[in-house]
Structure 1
Amino acid sequence: MRKVEEDSKMDEFGIYGIFGLNGPPQRLLTAKGTRSVSAAVPSSVHQVVLFSSGPWGERLCVNAELMDADQIPITIGKLTPYNKCLSWERREEETWTDRVTLNVSVEGGIMTNVKQEQIIVVKEYTPKNSAPCADREPGGKRKREYTAEEGGGDKTSKARGEENVCPNGVKEKGTPVRKVKTQAKSIQKLFANGEDASQAKAAGNEASEAEVVVGGTPPQNGARMKSRQAKTPTQTSSLVGPSGRWGQTLCPIDAQTAILIGGQGARMQFCKDPMWKLCTEDMSWVPAETLAEGPTPEARIGHSAIFDPDSKRIFVFGGSKNKKWFNDVHILDTQSWRWTMVEAQGNVPPLAYHSCSMFRGELFVLGGVFPRPNPQPDGCSDSLYIFDPNLSIWYQPILTGDKPSPRSGHSACVIQERYIYVFGGWDTPVCYNDMYMLDLGLMEFSVVKTSGKAPSPRSWHGSAVLSENKFLIHGGYNGNNALGDAFIFDIDTNSWTELKLPQLSVPRAGHSIITMETPARHGYSEEKSSKSSVSSRTLLVFGGGDNEGTFFSDLISISVEELLAAA
């Protein structure tokens, strides 16, 4: 009889936690209990696993966050009906005290008991045989071999190393600093440099050992830490929308819809709301993380996401998360709304801050940062990798001409379904403003000699195709500051023209820029056939950071016709 009662309890919805390698599952939330719970995590625990059991019913998600003594998130995650398990492992450079708490709360569904938040104490578990496993490093980390195929070289390594440094930066100057452990309460910059970097490093050393990471950014903590908004006109009509972030992707899938994926926000935390759907008819946002079935991509920045209009699928590739790097390919079918992960053949290294272009159903991935084992610094790539979705294989084409030097944080625009124009980027300590063109028919690179006032050297800028012969470059980071200028390039004349528009004057980097076919509502006559195709297109700018502690969540909308008229 007792066995039947225990089985019936497991059939009910519940949230369970495992604290430590050998700890037993401990029930935190039940269907008949409270909506939220806080659990004190023992200082001896180095690993935490959170999972759900039983039917979800109408419940949407379970929010979970590890908080330090100052109630600053150490890490944030979310359980959904399609992602029912989360795990965290304390990094070697972090120190968890007995004041670390795990906060868990349920969203959606009907709970039979809606009492206030419950506070529990986690039971410590001491196994009889406490000898460490042979294949683990001190601190509980599992050793791993990195092969040349993963971009880690031929030798084994205990760590991937640092996530590269900022453009125009040296060891003492121009490096973004990501604080760990207790986190000092000074303003964090998107990309620290000079005196700011040394001050941030000193502040980090007082609390803990600082860690250098590309574009490390402070994290958004849901509703508790609202992102500061940009001082520009926005078209967002809904009060509900994404948190401020940088390093995300915004991918249009039809004339009325775009999908936002990933990003990192305030306090260098990866966004708790990683996926949104933008409806351009009224410029409203809809949370989309729970809309699709299947394994969703792990949180990341510096990835690419591109839509194939023929197969109606979004391809997400690469990116990084702290010291973790990705070379995986995730596919979201926008008709069935289901995620799948590709088991691809071929050799492609983990890459972040690369460019990805779609041409004839294939993904063209150029450049990017790839990890190297310590003590070598991470490097930038000058290689072109092509992914064939039909065969699920990566290959490298034979290229001729003068190809770009190694770089990351650059932009790539496909023009006239024949050419890819590559602009800017950086490879420490050099930041670029050069232009290259890849002829996709000949697979030949060439240097583009330009005229007019060119954009200054930059990386992590935004770019978008405006017409058959023009594209836009906006913002970015020059090694010291975020930029707020905009330029249009004409491929017929190979000339630059600077734009003077107040909507694009706020400095930002790591933002997203797209153009979409939206209903013509800017007052231009559709009788003018030369303008009708342009007047129905709109440029949208979302997110980014200003390197002064601000992470944007605004959505800027500008008519493409207005942009071209201002050039």
Structure 2
Amino acid sequence: MEPVPELYVLCDTQKPPVRLQRLSSSSHDALSFSANLTLPVPPQMLVFSVGDWSGLSNDGRVEVQLEVKGLDVVRIGTMTHETRCFLWERASWADYKTGTSGNGEFSVSMVIHGQVAVTANRPNQERKKRKRLKEEEENICPNKGSAKGQITQQKAKSGKDTALTKMASGKGNGTISGFPTGRWGHALCPADSETVILIGGQGSRMQFCKDSMWKLNTEKKAWSPVEALADGSTPEARTGHTAVFDPESHRIYVFGGSKNRKWFNDVHILDTVAWRWRSVEAQGKVPPLSYHSCSLFRGELFVFGGVFPRPHPEPDGCSDSIYIFDPQHEIWYQPIVLGNKPAARSGHSACLLDRELYVFGGWDTPVCYNDLYLLDLGFMEFSAVEVNGSSPTPRCWHSAAPVSKSRFLIHGGYDGNQALNDTYIFNTVTKTWTTLVHDSLPCSPRAGYSMLSLPGVKGDGEEHTPSELLIFGGGDNEGQFYSDTVRLQISEILDD
């Protein structure tokens, strides 16, 4: 018997939840469960699962439907490995007004898709699964050669990303105690002045992380998994996506990304007050993008670059376009952009200082860039920055963060051959790059990590003055994925 979760629906807090029963006609490919309940349809229903999800593939899901006799079947939500419960409200169920009163029954049914049976031939199935996974890998660094396979296996066995220690108080860098698994290609963003949210990513053997969403309390220095409700679907597992927090609306906007050969151009909104997901049916056109940049300016999201799919056998392409998402009207549009814009790229960094967006590096196979461009978001005009000092070497999958009103820092990345661990600071007044060497900076080469300035949210009536840097995760492109969380005091690494 293959492991399957137990499925429940709670209609009345004064009564126990009802367990759905498996239908005898269910096949192994799509298991069906159902429960008959008494009308009227309640104003709210909590749908949840208990038990073992290991029998489902990583993209497995549970589709939940509701039916009143004589009316159409309506899908009310989806459960996945990442979100195993959701709250449904009748207020959004305009088509079923006739089912909110009267006598009789209504039914809740659930269909499990992606079931993987456990049989005596499981070792062979595992080998086939790994072979198929290897063939489908597309979220790998550019120009990655096959000669690094042995190193990948040796480092994967070292277990460096499993042990975490508490960060000691005082000066210097340290590691925060926590539990997120090692990963890269994830997204990290603030949720308030004391909270940072981690979403998605890939880990060992390019598997998408099942523990996809975590919350870091920056005051207590502790991670905890996030449980969020959903109106409908939640974001699928993915990598190369972006997550941006709007302090005015207390919302996190997740956009794009990819999953093996699947690409996304969807927008999901997380209300950080109610901790509830909502999927947006946006107007306008935006292509599916991964490893793009996304910045919030005056309440709108500015997306630049990224890699997008082309019909087989053409190689994936990179974008040089700007797309803007207006959350108020839930519409995408393209602005008129003046000036000398950068070449198409993905895996670049974009750092916003006031209204100036600085775009550095990135790649469009087989070329890695180390040029710097400025986009004035007031005039929507691009210009190439003529820099002083020695520019950082070409790289992609690095990260950038502001360290003052006129300076930002970049660290690490991948240059097309190896992961990097160097650090540079750019002064926007003098237009000068400066190499930064300090004992508190991470020494392990890493790419695909995330870096934030703390505090990440402006206080009431206060200027946003970054005092710390937060770095999480990443990988060395040799098979090692990091799960360390490092905090750096900006005052210690800057020479003012």
Give TM-score, length-normalised by structure 2: 0.73
Change in Cα spacing, 1:179 to 1:372, as seen in structure 2 (3 Å) is: farther
Instruction: Extract structure 1 runs of 4+ deviating beyond 6 A.
Output: 50-61, 73-76, 188-192, 230-234
Supply the distance in 2 between the matched residues of 1:355 and 1:382 (Cα, whole angstroms).
11
Residues 80-159 of structure 1: pairs in structure 2 closer than 5 A? 80-82=84-86, 87-88=113-114, 99-100=121-122
State whether residues 74 and 181 of structure 1, in contact with CA within 8 Å, keep that contact through their aligned partners in structure 2.
Answer: no
The equivalent of 1:556 in structure 2 is 486
Supply the distance in 2 between the matched residues of 1:322 and 1:194 (Cα, whole angstroms).
19
Change in Cα spacing, 1:273 to 1:500, as seen in structure 2 (3 Å) is: same
1:407 and 2:429 correspond: no
How many equivalent pairs are there? Answer: 409
1:486 and 2:487 correspond: no
- Letter of the structure 2 residue corresponding to residue 559 of structure 1: Q
How far off its partner does 1:231 sit? 11
Change in Cα spacing, 1:444 to 1:561, as seen in structure 2 (3 Å) is: same
State whether residues 470 and 491 of structure 1, in contact with CA within 8 Å, keep that contact through their aligned partners in structure 2.
Answer: yes
- Letter of the structure 1 residue corresponding to residue 278 of structure 2: T
* Aligned partner of 2:446 among 508, 525, 535: 508
How far off its partner does 1:50 sit? 8.0
The equivalent of 2:399 in structure 1 is 462
Supply the distance in 1 between the matched residues of 2:368 and 2:34 (Cα, whole angstroms).
47
The equivalent of 2:411 in structure 1 is 474
How far off its partner does 1:229 sit? 5.5
Supply the distance in 1 between the matched residues of 2:194 and 2:32 (Cα, whole angstroms).
37
The equivalent of 1:25 in structure 2 is 26
1:443 and 2:380 correspond: yes
Supply the distance in 2 between the matched residues of 1:474 and 1:516 (Cα, whole angstroms).
16
* Partner secondary structure for residue 311 of structure 2: coil
How far off its partner does 1:306 sit? 0.3
Supply the distance in 2 between the matched residues of 1:183 and 1:359 (Cα, whole angstroms).
39
* Aligned partner of 1:545 among 472, 475, 484: 475
Change in Cα spacing, 1:408 to 1:189, as seen in structure 2 (3 Å) is: closer
The equivalent of 1:140 in structure 2 is none
Residues 215-364 of structure 1: pairs in structure 2 closer than 5 A? 227-228=161-162, 235-238=174-177, 240-288=178-226, 290-294=227-231, 295-364=233-302
Supply the distance in 1 between the matched residues of 2:392 and 2:165 (Cα, whole angstroms).
23
1:303-346 Cα deviation digits (max 9, x unpaired): 00000111111000000001100000000111121111111111
Residues 386-401 of structure 1: pairs in structure 2 closer than 5 A? 386-401=324-339
Supply the distance in 2 between the matched residues of 1:58 and 1:494 (Cα, whole angstroms).
55
Worse-superposed segment, 536-545 or 356-365: 536-545
State whether residues 216 and 223 of structure 2, in contact with CA within 8 Å, keep that contact through their aligned partners in structure 1.
Answer: yes
1:389-445 Cα deviation digits (max 9, x unpaired): 1111110000111001000000111112x1110000000110000000011111110
Supply the distance in 2 between the matched residues of 1:352 and 1:317 (Cα, whole angstroms).
9
1:505-560 Cα deviation digits (max 9, x unpaired): 211000000011299xxxxxxxxxxxx975x7210000000112211111000012
Gaps of 5+ in 2: 1-7, 10-15, 37-44, 61-79, 88-109, 124-128, 168-172, 458-462
- Letter of the structure 1 residue corresponding to residue 356 of structure 2: Y
Change in Cα spacing, 1:481 to 1:51, as seen in structure 2 (3 Å) is: farther
* Aligned partner of 2:131 among 177, 180, 183: 180
Supply the distance in 2 between the matched residues of 1:340 and 1:249 (Cα, whole angstroms).
18
Supply the distance in 2 between the matched residues of 1:382 and 1:327 (Cα, whole angstroms).
16
Q: CA RMSD in A?
A: 3.8
Supply the distance in 1 between the matched residues of 2:50 and 2:490 (Cα, whole angstroms).
38
Give TM-score, length-normalised by structure 1: 0.64
How far off its partner does 1:66 sit? 5.2
The equivalent of 2:105 in structure 1 is none
* Aligned partner of 1:385 among 298, 317, 323: 323
Structure with more of its chain in strand, by fraction: 2
How far off its partner does 1:499 sit? 1.0
Change in Cα spacing, 1:374 to 1:467, as seen in structure 2 (3 Å) is: same
Residues 527-542 of structure 1: pairs in structure 2 closer than 5 A? 537-542=467-472
Change in Cα spacing, 1:13 to 1:393, as seen in structure 2 (3 Å) is: same
How far off its partner does 1:291 sit? 3.3
- Letter of the structure 1 residue corresponding to residue 453 of structure 2: T
Gaps of 5+ in 1: 1-6, 27-44, 68-72, 91-95, 102-177, 201-216, 520-531
Supply the distance in 1 between the matched residues of 2:367 and 2:391 (Cα, whole angstroms).
17
Change in Cα spacing, 1:98 to 1:514, as seen in structure 2 (3 Å) is: same
State whether residues 176 and 484 of structure 2, in contact with CA within 8 Å, keep that contact through their aligned partners in structure 1.
Answer: no
Supply the distance in 2 between the matched residues of 1:48 and 1:57 (Cα, whole angstroms).
19
Change in Cα spacing, 1:251 to 1:292, as seen in structure 2 (3 Å) is: farther
1:7-31 Cα deviation digits (max 9, x unpaired): 99x9733585x9xxxx9337xxxxx
* Partner secondary structure for residue 504 of structure 1: coil
Supply the distance in 2 between the matched residues of 1:66 and 1:400 (Cα, whole angstroms).
50
Supply the distance in 2 between the matched residues of 1:490 and 1:455 (Cα, whole angstroms).
13
Change in Cα spacing, 1:325 to 1:189, as seen in structure 2 (3 Å) is: closer
How far off its partner does 1:86 sit? 5.4
How far off its partner does 1:255 sit? 1.5
- Letter of the structure 1 residue corresponding to residue 323 of structure 2: Y
The equivalent of 2:361 in structure 1 is 424
1:42-61 Cα deviation digits (max 9, x unpaired): xxx6x455879798799777
1:199-243 Cα deviation digits (max 9, x unpaired): 69xxxxxxxxxxxxxxxx99xx9xxx88446999774554x4101
Change in Cα spacing, 1:471 to 1:361, as seen in structure 2 (3 Å) is: same
Supply the distance in 2 between the matched residues of 1:346 and 1:182 (Cα, whole angstroms).
34
- Letter of the structure 1 residue corresponding to residue 414 of structure 2: Y
Supply the distance in 2 between the matched residues of 1:53 and 1:196 (Cα, whole angstroms).
55
1:63 and 2:53 correspond: yes
* Partner secondary structure for residue 361 of structure 2: strand
Worse-superposed segment, 315-324 or 493-502: 493-502
How far off its partner does 1:268 sit? 1.3
* Aligned partner of 1:193 among 144, 150, 164: 144
1:468-517 Cα deviation digits (max 9, x unpaired): 10011111111111111111100001111111123322110000000112
How far off its partner does 1:453 sit? 2.1
The equivalent of 2:18 in structure 1 is 12
How far off its partner does 1:182 sit? 8.2
* Partner secondary structure for residue 285 of structure 1: strand
Change in Cα spacing, 1:373 to 1:558, as seen in structure 2 (3 Å) is: same
Supply the distance in 2 between the matched residues of 1:419 and 1:89 (Cα, whole angstroms).
49
